[in-house]
Amino acid sequence: QVQLVESGGGSVQAEGSLRLSCSIDGAEICTYRKNWYRQAPGQEREFVSNILSDGTTYYADFVKGRFTISQDNANNMFYLQMIGLKPEDTATYYCNIDSIGPYTFCRGKNYWGQGTQVTVSS
């Protein structure tokens, strides 16, 4: 059974920083895209950032220059370093992995963590 567990959320003041971690346990031997999403109260879940196995990264425009995604494949972890936090970054942050290959049995695999709350006060 695949399990993703986030940690590192909390409450900070504006311009503060936090580092979110996501541990991956039990994933099949597939190539995964590692993603961070967030969902604010009353809002839809939105993409924040992802990292591919080769280290290529993507960021939503609203976090560019402030958030950095990284991974530690040896320890099945990935991270989201957040600096310059703003009140509008307040949300539940979710880690997610979705498979992009290479085997047939890898198709459609998509796993979520339970979420970690980030609250930024002004």
- Which pLDDT belongs to residue 70? 98
- Which pLDDT belongs to residue 101? 86
DSSP assignment of the chain equals --EEEEE--EEEETT--EEEEEEEES--SSEEEEEEEEE-TTS--EEEEEE-TT--EEE-GGGTTTEEEEEEGGGTEEEEEE-S--GGG-EEEEEEEEEEESSGGGTT-EEE---EEEEEE-
pLDDT per position in the chain (122 positions), as tens? 899 999 999 999 999 999 999 999 988 889 999 999 999 999 999 999 999 999 999 999 999 999 999 999 999 999 999 999 999 999 999 999 999 989 998 889 999 999 999 999 99
